[in-house]
Amino acid sequence: MLRIPDQPGLRVGVTGRRRVPRETGRTEAPKLRRAGSKQVLGWKETVVLSTLGSISLMAKLDTGARTSALHAVNILYVKHRSAIWVEFDLPDVDQSKRHRFRLPLAENRAIKSSIGTSQIRPVVVLDLVLGGQAWSTEVTLTDRSDMELPMLVGRSALKGRFIVDPSRTRLAGHTAAEPTPDPAQRATTTKRKSTDLRRSR
For residues 30 and 45, is the Cβ–Cβ distance under 8 A? no
Does residue 199 register a pLDDT over 80?
A: no
Residue 5's alpha-carbon distances to 2, 120, 146, in angstroms, are: 9, 10, 18
Domains in the chain and their CATH numbers? Answer: 33-196 (2.40.70.10)
Give the C-alpha separation, 192 to 155, whole Å. Answer: 25
Q: How many CA atoms lie within 13 A of 34 on its CB side?
A: 8
Whole-model pTM?
0.72
pLDDT tens digits, one per residue of 105-138: 999 999 987 777 899 999 999 999 999 999 999 9
DSSP structural state of residue 33: P
